[in-house]
Structure formats: structure tokens, C-alpha cells
Structure 1
Amino acid sequence: MKKLSLIMGMLVLFFTTSCRDIVNSVLDVLPPFDVPFTTTLAVPFANVSTTTYTRTPEIPMNIDLDAKIKQNNPNYSINNLKSVKMSTLDIEYVSSQFDTKLDVIKNARIYIKAPNQPEKLIATVANNTNQNNITFSVPDEELINYFRTNQNSLIFEIQANAVNADQITMKMNSGFKVKVQL
């Protein structure tokens, strides 16, 4: 009798675990997808310090995730949003007035901002020496609350390698991994 109880218990556990896997796979009908954001910005370096960080004005992203979700599947909306995480962020050199390259940026931090949310650090780079491209380290952190609205923006903090008076135009490429469920 004890063997029968043990076998039945094992079967119930097996079926319960299997059902959970089936339910989770059904809920993930819409696979995670990437939402890219690209912008070109001009950053003046006349006041950028070599000892402290200098903040740039906010860069509006205004990513409308509701529209992006509906574009992938019209049956889903922002109400089905389960997760948003930054997957990549890099900056490419475009031009400058006096041929200053990106190696003038020693350290940089990027924050995300949205209404009723605190600023959150989402990317960093330290000891940059690359002239044409900077790839940021991106932590694996949840950003869902910053994308429940389309009023989101980025803020740069830059520390220079040397004092410089120039304006650098750069292209920022970023990507966000979005998960949606029923």
C-alpha cells in the first residue's frame, strides 16, 4: 500500500509539473522581441570636466511600447507587458567641428527617466580609449515601469579624458528586450 501511495504521489507531482510547463509555454505565445531606439545627438564639450561628471539635457525617447506590442500581435497591449530590459547600447562617432573623436570621453553613465519614477542607471563605460565606437555595459535589470508610458527619456553623464572645446555629433543605438504575456 505504501508503494502504491508513493507511486501515485510521484505521478501527481509529474503531471502537476508538466501542466505548469504547458501553461507557461501557452502564456508565452508571443515570443520576446527587440525594440530598437536610435538617435543622433550633438554633445558640446566646452564645459565637460575631467574630474567630475557633466550632465547633458534629457534626450527624449518617447518609445510607444503599446504600439510596438500591437504591431507584433494586435491581441496584446501594454497591459500584457511582463518585462522590459535593455539589451544593447553603443555610440558611434559621426562628426565634430574640430576633429575631436569619442576617445575624449573617459567615463560615461546613462540614466533612464519617466514620470513618477526615479532616475535609474542603465549603462556605463569606464576608461574608454576607442575613437569611433563606445560599447556600454548594460546591467540585466527590469525597466518595465519606465515603459508603461511613452514619456521616457535618457540622461548622459560624461567625464572627459582632457579639457576640450568642441561639439561631437554621435549616433546612439540601443535595444530593449520586451516580453508580453496573457
Structure 2
Amino acid sequence: MKKLSLLTGILVLFFMTSCRDIVNAVLDVLPPFDVPFSTNVDVPFASVSTTTYTRTPEIPMNIDLNAKIKENNPNFSINNLKSVKLNTLSLDYISSQLGNKLDVIKNARIYVKSPNQADRLIATAYNNTNPNTITFTLEDTEILEYFRTNQNSLIIEIQASRITADQIKMNMNAGFKIKVQL
């Protein structure tokens, strides 16, 4: 009798887990979609050390996910937001005042910021030697709470490969994977 009740319990647990997966699949009526962000950034670059990081001013994104969600399906809103993750990020060289290129940046870290949230590390690049593009390794981090408001921004921390000062203009390309459910 104990074996029968144990077996029944296992079957019920299996059935409930399977039902949850089916319900979640049905609730994904709106498939995940990308929200791109691109901007040109002038980064004041002054490095007196190659061992410490210098934080740049905030780069406002001000992404209104409520509007982006409604563009994909007017029946959904920010209240249906279930997941936001960074899925692409790169910096591309445009110009500089003194001729430095992106290989002057040895290491870089990118943080996301929004009101009432601690800055969160979302991407890193180490040992950069490319003068034209920095491609980042992305943290598999849920950043949903940073996008419940449209007051969001990015912060770059830079470690120099050599001591220098310059103003570097870059194009930042980022993409966020958005998941919405009923």
C-alpha cells in the first residue's frame, strides 16, 4: 500500500510539473523579441594609471519598454514583462581628438542603472587589442527591474592599456531580449 501511494504521489508530481510547462508555453503568446539600442558616445578618456578603472558619465538609454511591447501586441503592457536580458553589446570606433583608437582600452565593464536599483554589471571585455571594435562577454543576468521605468542608463568603466588622455567617439550597439507573458 505504501508503494502504491508513493507511486501515485510521483505520478501526480510529474503530471503537475508537465502541466506547468504546458501552461507556460501557452502563456508565451507573444514570442520573445529584441529591443535594439544604438547611440554615439563621446567618452572623455584620461588615464594616469593602467591598473585602475575610470568610470564614464552615464549614457542615458531611456528605453520605454511599455511602448515597445505595445508595438508588438497592443493587448500587452509593461505589467506583462517577465524577462529582460542583454543579448548583444559592442563598441565601434568613430574618431578621437588625438588619434587614439579603441586599443587604448585594455579592459571595460558595462553596468546598467535605474532609479532605486543598485548598478548591475551586465558585460565585460578583457585584454582588448582591437583598435576598431570592442566585443563584450555578456553576463547572463536578469535585468527586468531596470526596465520597469524608462529612466535607465548604462555606465562604462575603462582600464587603459597605456597612460594617455583623449576624447574618443564610439558607437554603442546593444540589444535586449524581452519576454512577455499573460
Superposition TM-score, scaled by structure 1 size: 0.90
Residue 161 of structure 1 corresponds to 161
Higher strand share: 2
List runs of 5+ in structure 1 lacking aligned partners. Answer: none
The alpha-carbon distance between structure 1 residues 49 and 43, as it changes in their structure 2 partners (threshold 3 A), is farther
2:118 alignment partner AA = P
Counterparts of 2:172 and 2:154, CA distance in 1:
11
Q: Percent identity?
A: 74
The alpha-carbon distance between structure 1 residues 15 and 93, as it changes in their structure 2 partners (threshold 3 A), is same
Q: Secondary structure at the match of 2:164?
A: coil
**Contact 2:123 2:136 survives alignment (8 Å):** yes
The alpha-carbon distance between structure 1 residues 48 and 71, as it changes in their structure 2 partners (threshold 3 A), is farther
Residue 40 of structure 2 corresponds to 40
Aligned residues: 182
1:117 matched to 2:117? The reply is yes
Stretches of 4+ aligned residues off by more than 4 angstroms: 4-18
Alignment of structure 1 residues 80-159 onto 2, 5 Å: 80-159=80-159
Residue 67 of structure 1 corresponds to 67
**Contact 2:108 2:156 survives alignment (8 Å):** yes
List runs of 5+ in structure 2 lacking aligned partners. Answer: none
Residue 77 of structure 1 corresponds to 77
Counterparts of 2:85 and 2:49, CA distance in 1:
31
Shift of residue 20, structure 1, vs aligned partner:
3.3
Counterparts of 2:13 and 2:96, CA distance in 1:
64
Residue 171 of structure 1 corresponds to 171
Superposition TM-score, scaled by structure 2 size: 0.90
1:73 alignment partner AA = N
Counterparts of 1:49 and 1:55, CA distance in 2:
13
Residue 30 of structure 2 corresponds to 30
Shift of residue 43, structure 1, vs aligned partner:
1.1
Shift of residue 30, structure 1, vs aligned partner:
0.3
Shift of residue 19, structure 1, vs aligned partner:
3.7
Please provide the CA RMSD for this pair.
Answer: 2.2
**Contact 2:47 2:162 survives alignment (8 Å):** no
Q: Secondary structure at the match of 1:46?
A: strand
